[in-house]
Amino acid sequence: MQLEEKQSLVRTYYRTLSDAWGPQNWWPAASPFEVIVGAYLTQNTAWTNVEKAMANLRSAKALSVNGIRRLSLTELERLIRPSGYFRQKAQRLKIFVDFLDRKYGSSLAKLFARPTALLREELLALNGVGPETADAILLYSGNHPVFVVDAYTRRILARHEILPAETPYEDVRRLVEEALAPLAEIVQKPGILSSAPSASAVPPAPHPPTIMSASNRTALPQIYNEMHGLIVGVGKGFCRKSQPLCDGCPLQPFLPRLK
């Protein structure tokens, strides 16, 4: 399959899923810092476990830069225990807050004012921050134009024979970003998709709008935001790891074996 065909398919998948399901309200969070905490906590665990840990932090009035800073490491570990690997994650959150304090005067606005490529390098240099975590922070918290590649993205592209499952992260990211970039020119309004969801196809357990998911974004980050949310919907509801449920998936007609 040629590059142009791959990119065309990615755009078609975006339009198909958008028409079927509409806005996904992802990432669910009430503030940019809450997105960052969620990006750390969601590593190697289910989002339901992250929500429990976030609820603990919220109840302790610690879901802020100041809140994480004032907590002892032991107390932070206790609060985020439901997310798993809580000792590592607590230490990594402390490292991020220290980084923000030292380099950017505790200001997320100053942090996200950095050029995307330079800030991405800084985030990747932090302990416990891989490409997926860095890109989630950049896109969902900072409104930077990067696409977040997760296991669902790899699985869907591999099963549709667009990219092999072992394709390097950066190659997957580049393909999706370059494929979707032209769509930003036709978005009528950031945060609003041009078509309404169809009544016949409903994504699995969609999130209600939150402050962050409903916030206005520039066109290109919004496209990447929606595509990632739509892929999460496909992965959770249909394109499962061991027992895929292709019937009812909006992308079923594009499976190579059905052509």
Q: What is the DSSP letter of 196?
A: P
What is the spatial distance between Cα 38 and Cα 53, in angstroms, rounded to a whole number? 9
Q: Kindly state the tokens that stand for 255.
A: 């499976």
pLDDT tens by residue, the chain, 259 residues: 899 999 999 999 999 999 999 888 888 899 999 999 999 999 999 999 999 999 999 999 999 999 999 999 999 999 999 999 999 999 999 999 999 999 999 999 999 999 999 999 999 999 999 999 999 999 999 999 999 999 999 999 999 999 999 999 999 999 999 999 999 987 544 444 445 555 445 666 567 888 898 888 899 999 999 999 999 999 999 999 999 999 999 999 999 975 5
Q: Helix axis angle, 73-80 relative to 86-104, nearest 10°? A: 120
In the block, which residue shows the tokens 């449920």? Answer: 245
pLDDT at 203: 61
Q: Kindly state the tokens that stand for 186.
A: 């036709």
**Domain spans of the chain, in order of start:** 3-26+149-254, 32-141
* Residue 256 backbone dihedrals phi, psi, to 5 degrees: -55, -40
Q: Kindly state the tokens that stand for 43.
A: 């590593």
Q: What is the DSSP letter of 148?
A: P
* Pick from 226, 254, 224: nearest CA to 238: 254
- In the CATH scheme, what is the homologous superfamily, with its name and number, of domain 32-141? Hypothetical protein; domain 2 (1.10.340.30)
In the block, which residue shows the tokens 């066109």? Answer: 219
What CATH code would you report for 3-26+149-254?
1.10.1670
106's CB contacts (< 8 A; 6+ apart) are: 65, 100
pLDDT at 19: 92
Through-space distance between the first and last CA atoms of the chain, rounded to whole angstroms: 14
Neighbours of 116 (CB within 10 A): 15
